[in-house]
Chains A and B, each alone.
Chain A
Amino acid sequence: QSVLTQPPSVSAAPGQKVTISCSGTSTNIGKNYVSWYQLLPGTAPQLLIYDNDRRPSGIPDRFSGSKSGTSATLGITGLQTGDEAAYYCGAWDFSLSAVVFGGGTKVTVL
């Protein structure tokens, strides 16, 4: 049981948009910044978003992040087959004094 809650899967056709929600509490997302990661099988996980809505160098602007209250959202526009992966949100939790992650969301391009 992950501390942060994500939908298990989302899907859309190529070129469309998907959003992935990440729900937490006042001790994690409600107080701290959120980051997002992409996990492709057999490759190193990739940071997509940090500080709720900032993209590292090299991450295309098709990926966006936002936060409101105790929830955060990752958006992917112009969906491509290469975006088929698992996506995880993460944040510091003051109560646990640990980084907590969501359970992951599998994106399928139809």
Chain B
Amino acid sequence: QVQLQESGPGLVKPSGTLSLTCGVSGGSISSNNWWTWVRQPPGKGLEWIGEILHSGTTNYHPSLKSRVTISVDKSKNQFSLKLTSVTAADTAVYYCARGRHTAVAGSASIWLQPWGQGTLVSVSS
């Protein structure tokens, strides 16, 4: 079964770039899935960051679009997140997940499973 694991620095300086990688095991990143990043700031709810297909097609949350890049590395079976110009508001647990998209009669069905365990990234000097 597919498993995902986040990795990357746990501390980033303000105005710096947050970089995380999600390793995919038990399945191919070239499968027809949307590889997704979600975050949860301390004491707050989930926030969808964006997603990528193995082809490189991406979707980003409009509030983060100017600062986010999600990329895929098929040779390493992993995908990555880069978030630039970070502030304390970007402090959060960052999760990667596999997304499934379907459409039925014009209605979108999107669900995320499995997820990684999450990694806490703090933005502080």
Contacts and interface: CB of A to CB of B under 8 A. Distances in A.
A97 B60 CA distance: 8
A45 B116 CA distance: 8
A72 to B, nearest CB: 13
A88 interface: yes
Given A32-B108, A98-B61, A104 B45 contact: yes
B72 to A, nearest CB: 18
Q: Main secondary structure on chain B at its contact with chain A?
A: strand
A33 B108 contact: yes
A100 to B, nearest CB: 7
Contacts, number: 83
Contacts of B114: 44, 47
A101 interface: yes
Interface residues of A, number: 30
Given A97-B59, A97-B62, A51 B45 contact: no
B108 A90 contact: no
Nearest to B44: A103
A102 B45 contact: yes
Nearest to A43: B117
A101 B117 contact: no
Contacts of B36: 99
Interface of B: 36, 40, 44-48, 59-62, 95, 97, 99-100, 104, 106-118
Given A31-B108, A46-B115, A99-B99, 10 more contacts: A33-B107, A35-B111, A39-B40, A42-B117, A44-B118, A45-B97, A45-B118, A47-B112, A94-B108, A99-B112
Interface of A: 2, 31-33, 35, 37, 39, 42-47, 50-51, 56, 88, 90-92, 94, 96-104
19 contacts: A31-B107, A33-B108, A33-B111, A35-B110, A35-B111, A39-B46, A44-B114, A45-B97, A47-B111, A51-B109, A51-B111, A90-B112, A97-B59, A97-B62, A99-B36, A99-B110, A100-B48, A102-B45, A103-B45
